[in-house]
C-alpha cells in the first residue's frame, strides 16, 4: 500500500519539487498551502507522515503541531528556514519527530521521511535498508557503498547523485533535474557541476561506472542491465 504524506507548505515552488520527488519514490502526497487547509485535510483522510512548515498563513506550524499532538501520534517533520536552537527545541517540545532547515536536499528529506514511516510501522529491522543495482550495493542508513564487493568512499554529493540516478533507474535525468534533486531547488550553480561530479563518481565506481550512461545533450541515466 502506498504511503500517504500531508505536505503543509505555503511556498508553491517548494511544494511542487517535494511532490515530484516523493511521487517518484512511490509516495502519495496531499498538499496544503496553510494551516487551516491542513486541519481540513486531516479531517477527511488519514496520513502516515506530515511535513510541516512553521511560517504558515492562518494557523502557524507550531500551533498546528501542538493541536495535532493532543489526539494523534502521526510522525511530523518540521521544515523551515528558522534554524535557531530555540526554534528547534520548541518544535521537539511540541512533539515533532524531526527538523530540517531550508535550503535542504530533497534526498535527505525523503530519507528522513521513509525512516520515520518505517519506525511508525515497526518495520525497521536492525536499522538497515539496502539497495542493490547491478554491481552496486548501498546501505542507505550507514551510507556504505560497495562495488562488486569492494567498499567505495564517496563524498556526500557523489553519494546523493548516485542514489538519485539509481532511484530513477533506466530513466534519463536532465542536468537541471539532478541539480534540483541533489543540490537543492534554490541552487543556481553551473550545469557543468553535474558533469564534474559524474566524472568523479565514475572514477570511484570503477566497473560500476558502466551503469551510468550519458544521454547526449540531455543528461544521464542509470542502466541496471549492462
Query: Residues 192, 105: one domain?
Result: no
pLDDT score for 188:
58
Among 121, 144, 174, residue at a domain's last position: 121
Give the rounded percent of residues in the chain with a pLDDT score beyond 70: 93
Question: Given pLDDT bands bounded at 50, 70 and 90, which one contains residue 38?
Answer: very high
DSSP lists the bridge partners of residue 77 as: 51, 98
Query: Residues 72, 46: one domain?
Result: yes
Please check whether residue 129 is in contact with residue 116, taking contact to mean a CB–CB distance below 8 angstroms. no
Query: Residues 135, 77: one domain?
Result: no
State the CATH number of the domain containing residue 67.
3.40.50.2300
pLDDT in tens, 120-148: 765 444 445 778 888 898 888 778 899 98
Query: Residues 80, 135: one domain?
Result: no
pLDDT in tens, 57-94: 888 888 998 888 887 888 999 988 877 777 778 887 88
Query: Residues 112, 166: one domain?
Result: no
| The pairing of beta strand 49-53 with beta strand 76-80 | parallel
Among 97, 121, 145, residue at a domain's last position: 121
Query: Residues 47, 156: one domain?
Result: no
C-alpha cell at 108: 535527505
| C-alpha separations of 24 from 18, 92, 181 in Å | 10, 29, 11
**Residue 39: burial class (beta carbons within 10 Å; 0-12, 13-18, 19+):** middle
* Dist CA 26 CA 33 (whole Å): 22
Among 121, 154, 188, residue at a domain's last position: 121
The range of the structural domain enclosing residue 152 comes to 130-222
* Dist CA 167 CA 147 (whole Å): 17
Give the total number of structural domains in the chain: 2
Query: Residues 87, 171: one domain?
Result: no
pLDDT score for 204:
94
Query: Residues 14, 117: one domain?
Result: yes
Amino acid at each position: 500500500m502506498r504511503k500517504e504524506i500531508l505536505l503543509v507548505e505555503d511556498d508553491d515552488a517548494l511544494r511542487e519539487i517535494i511532490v515530484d520527488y516523493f511521487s517518484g519514490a512511490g509516495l502519495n502526497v496531499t498538499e496544503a498551502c496553510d494551516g487551516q487547509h491542513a486541519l481540513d485535510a486531516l479531517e477527511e483522510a488519514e496520513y502516515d507522515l506530515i511535513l510541516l512548515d512553521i511560517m504558515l498563513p492562518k494557523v502557524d506550524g507550531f500551533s498546528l503541531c501542538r493541536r495535532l499532538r493532543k489526539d494523534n501520534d502521526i510522525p511530523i517533520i518540521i521544515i523551515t528556514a528558522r534554524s535557531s536552537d530555540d526554534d528547534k527545541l520548541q518544535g521537539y517540545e511540541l512533539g515533532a519527530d524531526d527538523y530540517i532547515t531550508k535550503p535542504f536536499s530533497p534526498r535527505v528529506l525523503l530519507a528522513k521521511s521513509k525512516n520515520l514511516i518505517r519506525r511508525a510501522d515497526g518495520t525497521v529491522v536492525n536499522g538497515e535498508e539496502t539497495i542493490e543495482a547491478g554491481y552496486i550495493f548501498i546501505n542507505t542508513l550507514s551510507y556504505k557503498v560497495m562495488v562488486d564487493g569492494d567498499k567505495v568512499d564517496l563524498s556526500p554529493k557523489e553519494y546523493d547523485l548516485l542514489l538519485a540516478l539509481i532511484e530513477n533507474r533506466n530513466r534519463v535525468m536532465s542536468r537541471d533535474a539532478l541539480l534540483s534533486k541533489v543540490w537543492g531547488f534554490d541552487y543556481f550553480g553551473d550545469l557543468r557541476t553535474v558533469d564534474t561530479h559524474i566524472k568523479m563518481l565514475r572514477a570511484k565506481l570503477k566497473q560500476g561506472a558502466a551503469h551510468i550512461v550519458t544521454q547526449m545533450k540531455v543528461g544521464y541515466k542509470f542502466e541496471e542491465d549492462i
